[in-house]
Structure formats: structure tokens, C-alpha cells
Structure 1
Amino acid sequence: MKLSAELKAFEGRIGHRFAQPELLLRAVTHSSMSSPTREDNQRLEFLGDRVLGLVMSEALLARDTAATEGQLAPRFNALVRKETCADVAKAIDVGAVLKLGRSEMMSGGRRKQALLGDAMEAVIAAVYLDAGFDAARDMVLRLWGKRIDDVKADARDAKTALQEWAQARGLKPPKYVEVSRSGPDHAPVFTIAVELDNGESERAIAGSKRQAEQAAAKALLARLET
């Protein structure tokens, strides 16, 4: 199988030449483009998530030999969560090589955080199946780069941190409410409110519900801890 010029350039960006190029093609094929003769990347995403987890577990243990499990867990979660995978995917322009159906393409699929994160995990799995764990680990460590060294000792995401703050004070878990949605389907804008049962609340606006929830939680937590 011969890869397109775009996928060959992508091989250069990830630093791996595929002996089985069909694996790379599958890794960048979204379910909206799947067919009886073309597999999508969902199964690879499942495998890539596990490979990424092992790579990051090894890396964190090697970098801090004195850290406890409780200290390592939030750092691990910060490095493998979908937002981080999507950031790495953007850095190597995964969106440019995604194979999307027309409706997904028209709705801005090449920029969607979830699609980019999923595709990044699928690419990791493709490299693993093509050349083994060492090759996948080398690529992941290279692409994640300083993110591993810079991950904070307390790397909990804002929603987790806010929930722990509430639970420590005997409050119910935070409630997230979609206040409004505006903009076209391919570029929506969400306003999300986070509320605690003690009456405290904050709002945030972002291009996805997940991002808006995190931003609202971060804003409320910052206010509560001042």
C-alpha cells in the first residue's frame, strides 16, 4: 500500500516510517468514514490509550523515584487525559490528515478536541502494532516532551479539585448546568454554570462543554481558595 503525500509528511512529523502503512491509514480514519472495506480507528484508540498509560507510568516512576502513588496518580491523569492528547495532536497537525465523513468535516471535525485526542491514541497504537512497544514509547516520549517534566506535583484537573474541595466540607458534588449555546453547529459556543449547594457559583464560556465546565470549576475554585 502506498501512502499519500500528506500521510508521508505526517510520518515525518511523528518520526516513524510504517512498514505496514495500512495501520496509519486506519489510525486517522474516523467512524464517519468507515465502510465494509475501510476500518475506522476506534479499536486502535482503545489499544493506544493503554499503551500511552504504560509509557507515562514508566516515565513518571523513573523521573521521581520518591513519589507516592497518591502523588503520581494526578500527574498521570494530567498526561493521558483527552485534552493533553488533543494538544499533542494539534502540535503535529493530526487534523490535516484525518479522514472524515462530509457531515463531520462540515461541523469542524478537524478541530474537535475529542476527535483529535482519539486519533492521537490511535496513532500510538498503530506505531505499537507496526514496530513494537519500544518504538511507540520513543514516539510518545518525544511528542509529549517537556509536558512530562513540567507536569505539576498537584496536577488534578479543576473539576476534580473542586469536587474534592466540596466533599471535604460536607457539600454535595458540584452541579454543572448548560446556561446557553450559541454560534453555528460547526463552531458552537457554550456557557456553563457550576453550582455548589452552599450557593456559590461561577460561569465560563468555551467552544466545548468540557472546556467550559473546566473553566467554570477553575474560576470558582480560585475564588473559594483566596
Structure 2
Amino acid sequence: MSELGAKSRAWLEQHGFKLHGEAIWLEALTHGSTGAERDYQRLEFLGDRVLGLATAEWLFRHSNGAEGKLAQRLNALVSKGACAAVAREIGASEHIYLGKQARDDGAAESENVLGDVMESLLGASFIENGFDQTRGVILHLWAPLLGGTAGIAKHPKSALQEWAAGNQRRPPKYDLLERSGPDHKASFTVRVAVHNVGDAVATANSKQEAETEAARQFMERFG
């Protein structure tokens, strides 16, 4: 693609993004499978940090929780899953520029791709409009998550770590058993084990999510 389509421009503006030029927004929506000179990866890196700072500031101002509780909630709110959920909610999939094979493989609905694109859009917003404007977009788009219970319950990995310590067991050990599929549709299989207790195995679209699910299954079985 050489220019941002009118439909995508209107969609971005509808959801609070303020466009000046078009090149950076085209970059933010372009997947590496297109073969384009610039894709969203660098903007994704930046947007991840902007999202983290904006969310951490909101939590600091609106929560009296201790550092551990704040970190737990922050991790949930800025996770790839949370970013992908926001991207799905605003209909991002139809605006992502993908190569034919990636689109045929379902990359437009991939949690990894949707999460990455959401972060890249925040990176583009920061470059074009600065932190204050981008923070406003984040607080608007993340409002349902900020007002919900994401991250309030104890994270399964934290729960397992505390369970092991409380039962005088060695710390849980996570091993990546298998990684398969292309980057936009990757699958990770992870095993978590506690010495002399047992193990649990889970598969998910990211290593972190597979570890989380394995920890959850372990606690259901042995906790």
C-alpha cells in the first residue's frame, strides 16, 4: 500500500486518534508479510512503553494498592491479550495491511498481530501528538478494562510461586517444550513442574500465556 485509505483514516479518527500526516499511520498498520520497507515493529516497541506509562500513572492516581498489587494489575492491563481485546473491540482487523498468505492464514484475527498493531497505533499517536493526547486515547479505549477486574485477582504464576514457598517446595520450573507456526500464528507449549509434586502442560499463542495457563492448571490439580 502506498497510502492510507479513506476508510482507515475515518476509522482512526472515530476512535480518537488525531492524524496529521498519513505515512506513520500506514506504517503502524502494515505487517511485515507485505514486504513493505517499513512495518509496525518499531512503533509497536514505542507504543508498548507509552501504554505502560499511561496505565501506571492512572493506577497510581486511582488506586491505593501496594506496589505488588499495582504491578499485578498493570501487567494484566498492558498484556498482549488486553491490547488484542481492545483492537478487536474497535474493529482493527479489517484495517491491517497483510501479505496474501498471512491474511489467508488468519493473521488479521491473530491475538499477537492485533496486540502488536494496537501498540503500534499508540506509538504513532505519541510521535504525531505527544504523550498527553495519546494518554487520552488510551484512557478512552481502555476504559472498560480500567473499570473492570483485570489484574485484581492474583495472577496464576504468582499464586503458584507463593503456594510452593508456603509448602516448603522448590520454586516452580517452566520449560518451553515446543514452538510452532509462523510469527503471526505462533503456538507455544510450556510445562511447569514443582519437584516431588507434579507438573502441568499448556499451549497458547504466546510463551507468557502458556506459562500462565500451565500455572493455573497446576493449581487446579495440586493447589
**What TM bracket, shorter-length normalisation?**
0.7 to 0.9
Question: Percent identity over the alignment?
Answer: 37
1:58 equivalent to 2:57? Answer yes
Map of 1:21 onto structure 2: 22
Q: Would the alpha carbon gap of residues 172 and 67 (structure 1) be closer, same or farther in structure 2, given more than 3 Å must change?
A: closer
- What value does the CA root-mean-square deviation take over the aligned residues? 3.1
Map of 1:43 onto structure 2: 42
1:6 equivalent to 2:34? Answer no
What is the one-letter code of the residue matched to 1:53? G
1:50 partner SS: helix
Q: Which runs of 4+ in 1 moved over 6 A?
A: 186-191
1:99 partner SS: coil
| 211-220 vs 46-55, greater mean Cα deviation | 211-220
For each residue in 1:69-115, what CA deviation from the matched residue of structure 2 results, as whole angstroms up to 9, or x when unmatched?
Answer: 12211111111111111111111122211111233223221122111
Question: Equivalents in 2 of 1:44, 1:222: separation in Å?
Answer: 39
| 79-88 vs 209-218, greater mean Cα deviation | 209-218
| 104-113 vs 162-171, greater mean Cα deviation | 162-171
Q: Would the alpha carbon gap of residues 39 and 155 (structure 1) be closer, same or farther in structure 2, given more than 3 Å must change?
A: farther
Question: Equivalents in 2 of 1:153, 1:23: separation in Å?
Answer: 32
C-alpha displacement of 1:170: 2.9
> Superposed, which structure 2 residues align to 1:76-225 within 5 Å?
76-151=74-149, 154-168=152-166, 169-176=168-175, 178=177, 193-204=191-202, 211-225=209-223
Q: Would the alpha carbon gap of residues 191 and 126 (structure 1) be closer, same or farther in structure 2, given more than 3 Å must change?
A: closer
Question: Equivalents in 2 of 1:67, 1:12: separation in Å?
Answer: 35
Q: Which runs of 5+ in 2 are unaligned?
A: none
Question: Equivalents in 2 of 1:165, 1:94: separation in Å?
Answer: 40
2:70 partner SS: helix
Q: Would the alpha carbon gap of residues 178 and 15 (structure 1) be closer, same or farther in structure 2, given more than 3 Å must change?
A: same
Question: Equivalents in 2 of 1:60, 1:93: separation in Å?
Answer: 27
Question: Equivalents in 1 of 2:196, 2:152: separation in Å?
Answer: 26
CA contact (8 A) 2:3 2:26 kept: no
TM-score by length of 2: 0.82
